[in-house]
Structure 1
């Protein structure tokens, strides 16, 4: 297929900062701080949660060594699947694409559910009481519209929202540091390896690390925007390192501030009291903001939670649409899917992603499922398993590719990717064995916090936890059946 104005994304639209905005916005740091961190403290390793986030961040930096090296060899909006395809062959690449699409579609669905619940609750307090799906579908309209525009417009919107989000987190965090909290800052309690891994991988440490992995969803999307970036072989690697560094530093700094503000000795009791027994985990950070920064910070934070969710919706909409675009252009999906509109946006991909989101939300609304307990927890748990699974494949693909090409230094092309694959495999085990905590799909009458309950899932739980692997197998079968049409991908991966 010869590239035409309708089969290529517009280049030169994004720099390092623009890509970082998309990626960090996808991680929704404010949502992670209000939702994941309190739960990780109570069920996981308490005051050592900041260290768990740091450990996961370092693991992903290790992954990025090989990932960045591969990004310099090719530029493709399919990112992960293109890298897997170049290293392990087209069939494996297409298989990973189906898993990656599963990840991006499910995380967007998760955020739609959380968005509807948060906005619905906020508006109900103001006298406008409407079902969650009304607010979710309103966001759906805006997100769909913005994703049909030039990508740099979306980056500017995300830039403003993300800057405000980071600022309020840092303001509250440093207000706590200045005050010192009830016991002062205890770096050893939060970052000592003995504290971080206390309880073992099968126990509390594993739970905290699983929640930390879930908070980094989206960092890998840097390469998706390679075709639209300025000097992609330089921009993508830098943006990846910057994005992981920003996410890691932000979670470590602010979660340490939360530990400091609560006090290490009574941390669990304080979290439970301020969150109504984890029924409202956002109450922990809100109460700390009120206590150390003032009521104004709570008001701003409440508004920014909504904008943070919106930013995540837009970021993952763009990511998923570009995956569909890459598959359409490569011949796996109909050629029309691999086209762009006059603004340079992957229009068919946007329509597919938006249609899937609308359909699932409508089904959940009709059936009466809860937007948080069902849509958010189920879908986000699928996402993190799918992403880590594909990251393992990328690490292996990097090694195979550079061994075959006989290029690159030993650390970058072999040792770092191999270590990354091993650590990520451990992370995947932690996520799957703690799926009952992440998704809430443990059989009735079983305590999900006990190590022996790790693999006790109901039938729905098993289906959800295995869905990324099902997508991988389906993708591989599609590639085998579609072998002739995959010729364009062979050319892309060989370039």
Structure 2
């Protein structure tokens, strides 16, 4: 009798036919996958962007507690996600999981929302990267517009997108190690000094009563945003060594690492600056030309300069650039593997589902680069700000879309194991996924209700759910795409029932 795991396991569609639609097998382990996933979280970028915003607009000194709770909540999701990875190995992780659990049309819809979200977030980070590099280079006398640096980065990322995936993992490993080391040194320096004014006030940052003071909804919305990209572990399943073990381990490791980075480093920053009146201190440090939070990096840089030395902020200013570059490279890989999987499965042109000399999805990679070029050029010609519009608009929209699909994954995991009985562990297949679903629903509500505030499209009063037309259009985008793609999925399923070979291998 065939073991249950083999009965439900999914090899990559089309891999039995030709080598042109196979990725580079056995090329990545837990460490390499973690490099891609943690790099997508862009730790220093998060410390310089998310943390000050969470402090000022959210719950003040208790921002680290919000990141800690968000990480714990996402661990519930990770349990079911990792359990599913034992039985489904596919480069289009979300849409394969949802398709197997809820049915092919739902998988198709998840695929389009996922690839939309990855394209949006990668382009958003390009905007942030271009603005950051432009300002840094101008400070040393080499002034070029933000879009120029975006196009330079696009060209470099395209090269890595074609070459062996292991090369990209090694580059990300070096960049990520450097930025983590800089934050560890800063954190230890604060710790050895016993903190700043007020010392190391653990209660102010991690006490439940403090965490839920102020505007905790805003704090948690920002906190969940910090974890974007952690789900990409399963995307590399086909390229990993022993994916049934590698993917679950990488998933747990990624969530835990990101949680610790944000919770502990933000605690060190707040302790170094002084937890008392941290909101006023953050505003004083980050206000530029009368605009609050216009220069958020100064909170981290100020603490690093005070406790380590003036050389650390200078180093961190360059590591911020490499952190953002690592982020765009990581999300480029995620998006291209979705395009590849969708092409291979018949949802997009079949040529996207082929690989090149290094067993990487070259055509899908070029398509992703073309999308980036068109978007950046369009924003540049329109004279729109790369941070205020391109970054904030697209990043929060992407997070909204990916969070929605994560909720569907939780439902798919529960239904998959209820029907197949491939794994009967109650915690892994029902309890944890249900807790994960509750966490995702809460996160989605918080993101939606604060969408205008986070995206910069809020009305004059800045109240929850208040947005201008642009805000509502952006917030609706992932759901509109989902509904349209769901209809496309049902149409494909109907064609499959009529023995159409085009979609047979995906929906069979």
Q: TM-score range by the shorter chain?
A: over 0.9
Partner of 2:297: 282
In the alignment, what sits opposite 2:479? 469
- SS of 2:503's equivalent in the other structure is helix
SS at match of 2:20: coil
- The answer to whether 1:242 aligns with 2:253 is yes
How far does residue 474 in structure 1 lie from its aligned partner after superposition? 2.1
Cα deviations by residue, 1:268-299 (Å, 9 ceiling, x for unpaired): 11101111131101111011111111011111
CA distance in 2, matches of 1:213, 1:246: 14
Distance 1:237 1:19 in 2: 11
Task: Report if the CA contact (8 A) 1:108-1:313 is conserved.
Answer: yes
Structure 1 residues 179-258: aligned runs within 5 Å: 179-180=193-194, 181-199=196-214, 204-258=215-269
Please name the residue that 2:5 is paired with: none
| Residue matched to 1:401 | 416
Q: Deviations 1:21-68 (Å, cap 9, x if unpaired)?
A: 000000001000001101110110011100000000001111011001
Alignment of 1:421-432 (within 5 A): 421-432=437-448
Q: CA deviation at 1:112?
A: 0.5
Per-residue deviation, 1:118: 0.4
| 1:490 shift after superposition | 2.5
> Is 1:130 equivalent to 2:144 in the alignment?
yes
Instruction: Give the aligned length.
Output: 481
Whole-Å separation in 2 of the counterparts to 1:117 and 1:43: 23
Mapped contact 1:117–1:372 kept (Cα < 8 A) = yes
Show the counterpart of 1:316.
331
1:454 corresponds to which residue? 464
Q: Distance in 1 between matches of 2:17 and 2:307?
A: 56
State the TM-score, normalizing by the size of structure 1.
0.96
- How big is each residue's C-alpha offset from its partner over 1:389-426, in whole Å with a ceiling of 9 and x where there is no partner? 01100000000001111232111101110111112101
Measured in 1, the distance between the counterparts of 2:203 and 2:436 equals 26
The corresponding residue for 1:433 is 449
* Counterpart-to-counterpart distance in 1, 2:133 and 2:220: 29
What displacement does 1:370 show?
0.3
Q: Is the 8 A contact 1:68 1:237 kept in 2?
A: yes
Report the TM-score when normalising by structure 2.
Answer: 0.93
Instruction: Give 1:270's aligned residue.
Output: 281
1:412-457 CA-to-partner distances (Å, cap 9, x unmatched) read 10111011111210110000000112100013xx132xxxx21111
Question: 2:360 — aligned with what?
Answer: 345
**Residue aligning to 1:42:** 56
SS at match of 1:482: helix
Between the aligned partners of 2:465 and 2:255, the Cα distance in structure 1 is 31
Aligned to 2:488: 478
CA distance in 2, matches of 1:205, 1:487: 47
Residue 162 of structure 2 is aligned with which of 140, 145, 148?
148
Contact map agreement 2:42 2:323 (CA 8 A) in 1? yes
- Does the 8 A contact of 2:74 with 2:439 survive in 1? no
Partner of 2:10: none
Contact 2:162 2:365 in 1 (8 A): yes
Matches of 1:408 and 1:166, distance apart in 2: 39
| Separation in structure 2 between the aligned mates of residue 481 and residue 62 of structure 1, nearest angstrom | 34
For 2:29 and 2:17, locate their aligned partners in 1 and report how far apart those are by CA, in whole Å.
23
Q: Hey, what's the Cα distance between the residues in 2 that align with 1:420 and 1:125?
A: 46
Q: 1:364 aligns with which of 372, 379, 399?
A: 379
- Counterpart residue number, 1:306: 321
Q: Deviations over 1:366-386 (max 9, x none)?
A: 011000000000010101101
**Structure 1 residue runs of 4 or more that deviate by more than 2 Å after TM superposition:** 480-486
Looking at structure 2, the residues matched to 456 and 490 of structure 1 have their Cα atoms a distance apart, in angstroms, of 41
Matched, 1:291 2:302: no
CA shift, 1:102, in A, is 1.4
Aligned partner of 2:499 in structure 1 is: none
CA RMSD of aligned residues (A): 1.0
Cα distance in 2, alignment partners of residues 104 and 465 from structure 1: 15
- 1:98/1:472 contact within 8 Å kept: yes
Contiguous gaps of at least 5 residues in structure 1: none
Contact 2:24 2:239 in 1 (8 A): yes
**CA offset at residue 189 of structure 1?**
1.4
What CA distance in whole angstroms lies between the structure 1 residues aligned with 2:93 and 2:358?
21
Matches within 5 A, 1:81-160: 81-160=95-174
Contact 2:92–2:111, Cα closer than 8 Å, also in 1: yes
Summarize deviations over 1:56-103 as a string: whole Å, max 9, x none: 000111101100110000110001111001100110001011111111
Using the TM superposition, give the Cα deviation of residue 243 of structure 1 relative to its aligned residue in structure 2, in angstroms: 0.6
